């Protein structure tokens, strides 16, 4: 399994690198970032970025490396969609197609031939990381922001792979909001029973569980709070089904990376509490 080094940078006594490999699931080369802290065989936290982002966004904007170095966590940052496979209309809007995979395995043509991001994150990228980097193979966490928060919650609930799960300003009920309805219709078709397998609120309602309590950080001044994010729906489902959730509202914060960088320490401490042993 060949991994091409695009660049590597010394960072807080560790290394922030950017890499590329050939993906069978996504039909071409996929880029990803890895921060390796100055620890032996650290556990891994996968970070899923949001709409319009790529594998470099979190590494450059969140200020996570210093905290990961202190806590002894490796960070993996995949791209947000396949880039090599191109389809008509895949760059026509910012919330569907390129940089907007919603981390699902598409079932609708033409997307189903390459947009297999759920399986890519859970299986293929994990195998690449654990073969190429000296990381723990028995301790993994997953987190994300916005669309990536949706991905982190759904993968954390539906894949028996992650020991810790968190999200920042996530889309928690995509079946009920415009971003999700658009993406799910395009990638998954019109059958809302299929959508439920990719909806964190629906998954909890159906009895899915994470191994440890979920943490969500959400800004109260987020312009998408009431139309696209709706954390109260996920909180209500967790309460009804007995799923442990720590939902923390932060007064005055918006949706962007100023907020992400504000709460990243809290998020990574959450993961370290379950992954460091």
Q: Which residues are catalytic?
A: 146, 222, 255
Length of the chain counted residue by residue? 277
Q: Say if CB 61 and CB 77 are below 8 A apart.
A: no
Residue 197 CA neighbour count, 13 Å, CB half: 13
Render 35-85 in DSSP notation, one character per residue: EE-SSSS--EEEEE--TT--TTHHHHHS-HHHHHHHHT-EEEEE-SS-SSS
What would the two tokens of residue 258 be?
A: 């100023």
> Is 99 exposed, middle or buried, given 0-12, 13-18 or 19+ CB atoms closer than 10 A?
buried
Q: What whole-number distance in Å separates Cα of residue 234 and Cα of residue 247?
A: 10
Nearest alpha-carbon partner for 238 in 116, 156, 148, 182: 156
Residue with tokens 């996504």: 26
Q: What whole-number distance in Å separates Cα of residue 151 and Cα of residue 133?
A: 23
Contacts of 50 (CB under 8 A, 6+ apart): 80, 144, 145, 146, 147, 148, 149
Please give, one letter per residue, the 3-state secondary structure of 150-209.
Answer: HHHHHHHHHCCCCCEEEEECCCCCHHHCHHHHHHHHHHHCCCHHHHHHHCHHHHHHCCCC
């Amino acid at each position: 399994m060949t991994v091409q080094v695009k660049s590597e940078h010394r960072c807080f006594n560790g290394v922030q690198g950017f890499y590329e490999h050939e993906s069978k699931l996504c039909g071409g080369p996929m880029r990803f970032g890895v921060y390796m802290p100055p620890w032996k065989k650290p556990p891994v936290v996968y970070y899923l970025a949001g709409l319009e982002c790529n594998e470099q966004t979190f590494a450059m904007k969140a200020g996570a490396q210093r905290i990961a170095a202190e806590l002894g966590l490796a960070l993996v940052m995949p791209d947000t969609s396949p880039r090599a496979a191109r389809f008509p209309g895949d760059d026509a809007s910012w919330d569907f197609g390129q940089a907007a995979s919603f981390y699902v395995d598409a079932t609708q043509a033409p997307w189903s031939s390459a947009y297999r991001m759920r399986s890519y994150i859970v299986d293929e990228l994990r195998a690449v990381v654990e073969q190429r980097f000296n990381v723990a193979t028995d301790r993994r966490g997953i987190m994300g922001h916005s669309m990536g928060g949706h991905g982190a919650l759904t993968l954390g609930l539906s894949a028996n792979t992650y020991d810790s799960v968190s999200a920042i300003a996530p889309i928690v009920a995509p079946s009920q909001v415009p971003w999700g309805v658009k993406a799910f219709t395009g990638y998954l078709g019109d059958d809302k029973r299929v959508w439920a397998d990719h909806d964190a609120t629906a998954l909890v309602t159906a009895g899915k569980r994470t191994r440890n309590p979920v943490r969500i950080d959400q800004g109260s001044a987020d312009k998408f709070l009431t139309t696209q994010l709706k954390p109260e729906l996920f909180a209500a489902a967790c309460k009804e089904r007995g799923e442990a959730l720590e939902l923390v509202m932060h007064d005055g914060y918006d949706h962007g990376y100023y907020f992400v960088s504000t709460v990243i320490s809290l998020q990574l401490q959450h993961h370290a509490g379950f992954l460091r042993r």
